[in-house]
Structure 1
Amino acid sequence: MKINKKEIILKYSINCNNTGKSEVQIALLSHQIDYLKNHFNIHKKDFSSKRGLLKMVSKRRKLLNYLKNINIIRYNNIISKLELRH
């Protein structure tokens, strides 16, 4: 099931032009990370993509830390919406 980028942007933002919001960036990165997880089930030896995955995970972690320091309520909302913590 492929989800369009615009749908993700509209879901986590006020309008489709506001792509710089931390929640939108985290949601887009999470979608790409989930896609790559499924990719690695098929292509186990794709090491160059694994490097890209690690970069994305690191960037998402930095954005989450930033959001946690700025506004804890928005941080908790995005964590619950994306189901990142169990």
Structure 2
Amino acid sequence: MSLTQIRKQELMTEYQAHETDTGSADLQVAFLTERITQLTGHLKANPKDHASRRGLLKMIGRRKRLLSFINAREPERYQALIKRLGIRR
């Protein structure tokens, strides 16, 4: 299940860098984290859904690359972001 429009707006207001920000790395990581959380719950209920598992692994890889990008440029921002999202990395 994808993110609802309402939940997307909530995440945007929470993680936007500025008013017109719609695709910064922080925002993309927040969206991916939300989708990963939803998909993890789905896979607990449906352990044989291998297609969704593959999608989950791709999302995790994309989030990892974005977090590495943020960490390379602004380590303080990276630390603040993973703390806000509750990611143990």
Describe the SS at the equivalent of 1:4: helix
Q: CA RMSD, aligned part only?
A: 1.5
**Gapped runs of 5+ residues in structure 1?**
none
The alpha-carbon deviation at position 54 of structure 1 amounts to: 0.4
1:27-49 deviation line (CA, Å, top 9, x unaligned) = 00000000001001111111001
**1:26 aligned to which of 29, 32, 44:** 29
- 1:42 correspondence with 2:81: no
Describe the SS at the equivalent of 2:37: helix
- The runs of at least 4 consecutive aligned structure 1 residues that moved more than 2 Å come to none
What is the number of residues matched between the two proteins? 84
Q: TM-score, normalised by structure 1?
A: 0.90
- 1:79 correspondence with 2:82: yes
Q: TM-score, normalised by structure 2?
A: 0.88
Question: 5 Å matches for 1:60-79?
Answer: 60-79=63-82
Equivalent residue letter for 2:9? K
Q: In structure 2, what is the equivalent of residue 58 of structure 1?
A: 61
Equivalent residue letter for 1:79? I
